[in-house]
Amino acid sequence: MANIKPTESGCLEWPLTINQKGYGKTTYENKTVETHRLVWRLTKGEIKKGLFVRHKCDNKKCVNVDHLQLGTPNDNAQDAVKSGLYPKGNTHTQSKLSWEKVRFMRKNESHIGTSSLGRKYGVSHKTIERVLKGKTWKEPPPKK
């Protein structure tokens, strides 16, 4: 920990090994652990089963306990959405829609009903309604 220097934002970035998800990792008690979780355990106590140690700073390498907080899986997912880390639209592996299909739907919505569009694209008519109302697929398509 002595080699860790604070960034301008106050983050203390783990300078050694980083796992494939981008979190610092180290060995503790003969186990490989994520450093932010280890820092939490050593300073705040055990982490109850089912809880996440979340980064308020959105910096996965940060081990500053003041930048960490416990939360539920739902809290963690909301953090990912807010920080743009959660896959959406074309980047989501299970998406049945694409920007091309969304543009087609929006252009032709008055000629084709939501149920017909849903059957055409393999999604529910409620999904089509959310797309047409702009509740989903909000951001502009990526530039080519």
For range 117-126, the mean pLDDT: 89
Percentage of the chain beyond pLDDT 70 is 87
Confidence of residue 142 (pLDDT cuts 50, 70, 90): low
Domains in the chain: how many in total? 2
0.75 surpassed by pTM: no
CA distances from 73 to 79, 80, 140 (A): 10, 11, 28
Q: Domain range for residue 15?
A: 1-86
Confidence of residue 141 (pLDDT cuts 50, 70, 90): low
Assigned domain for 109 exists: yes
CA–CA distance, 17 with 8 (Å, rounded to integer): 22
Domain match, 17 and 55 both: yes
Domain match, 60 and 116 both: no
pLDDT tens sequence across 11-69: 999 999 999 989 999 999 999 999 999 999 999 999 999 999 999 998 999 999 999 99
Q: Where are the alpha helices (DSSP H) in the chain?
A: 35-44, 73-82, 99-108, 114-121, 125-132
CATH classification at residue 10:
3.90.75.20
Mean pLDDT of the chain: 86
Domain match, 70 and 95 both: no
For range 81-106, the mean pLDDT: 74
Domain match, 67 and 8 both: yes
Taking only Cα atoms into account, the Rg of the chain, rounded to an integer number of angstroms, comes to 21
